Amino acid sequence: MLVFDKKAELTEYLTQQRQTGKLIGFVPTMGALHQGHLSLIEASLSQTDLTVCSIFVNPTQFNNPQDLEKYPRTLEKDRELLEKAGCQVLFCPGQQEMYPNVSYTNFSFGLLETVMEGYFRPGHFHGVGLVVSKLFHIVQPNLAFFGQKDLQQCRIIEQLAKDLFFNVSVVVVPTMREADGLAMSSRNVRLQPGERKEAAILYKVLQESANRLLAGEGVQEIKKAAERTLTNTTTGVRLEYFCIADGGTLQPVKDVQQHKQLALCVAGYVGEVRLIDNLLLEL
């Protein structure tokens, strides 16, 4: 596996590879890799000729400085995992390489960022848009792979690629889960043993809510029931939101008959760790 930390050197190498007709796949990450990330690498390896992974903890997408400080950084372990998985190229730039100057460009994604993560983490998707734009310009991939766990981020990046004419197909890969259903996340390592068990309630509620929707129950009744369960003091969850939304626009729905796909989304704190999850439901 080739490792680059300078964008000019990576760009030169990828230009040479592109000239030979190779299809380039890209998996942008913030490191602390787990099997969920490796499933993105596997998807890229199966669909492209050359897979590039980036590891960069992007400061502009953290609206909580403590969250940025506590974000796990395991570069050596990550390199070993990527090499074992068959990744061909790793790009791990420093902050000066990605942000050599103060950035004045500001991204706004309209209604896509007024709900859920965008509402509770103001400025977050500006930072995502900024760093992904930089990375797309540097790598110029044919396909870019993102995990469904960050569904709103996926929809934001799809819109970004469309609006800015990035010649890249955004591929959304299904969420990888632990045996009890908990979505794999770099943040899970921060959960205490008792909290780790409590965290499984998030996916359980998503599943129960999806079953009730398919059985014909009303959106508001299901939403209230899910919120009651997740705000019960015995669950150990401090709920931020539970939302039943359109799978494309991510706007809250009232009548499921008007939608082809629903997204059931949840976010909350278990201990000091903020977790998110979602489930897509085809109608």
Dihedral (Cα; 114, 64, 277, 115), 10-degree rounding: -10
**Tokens, residue 40:** 């993105």
Buried b (16+ CB within 10 A) or exposed e, 71-96: bbeeeeebbebbeebebbbbbbbeee
- 124 in catalytic set: no
* β-pair type (143-147, 24-29): parallel
Annotated catalytic residue within 34, 37, 124, 137: 37
Q: What crossing angle do the helices spanning 35-47 and 75-85 adopt, rounded to 10°?
A: 40
246 Cβ contact list (under 8 Å, min separation 6): 253, 259, 261, 262, 263
Which residues are catalytically annotated? 37
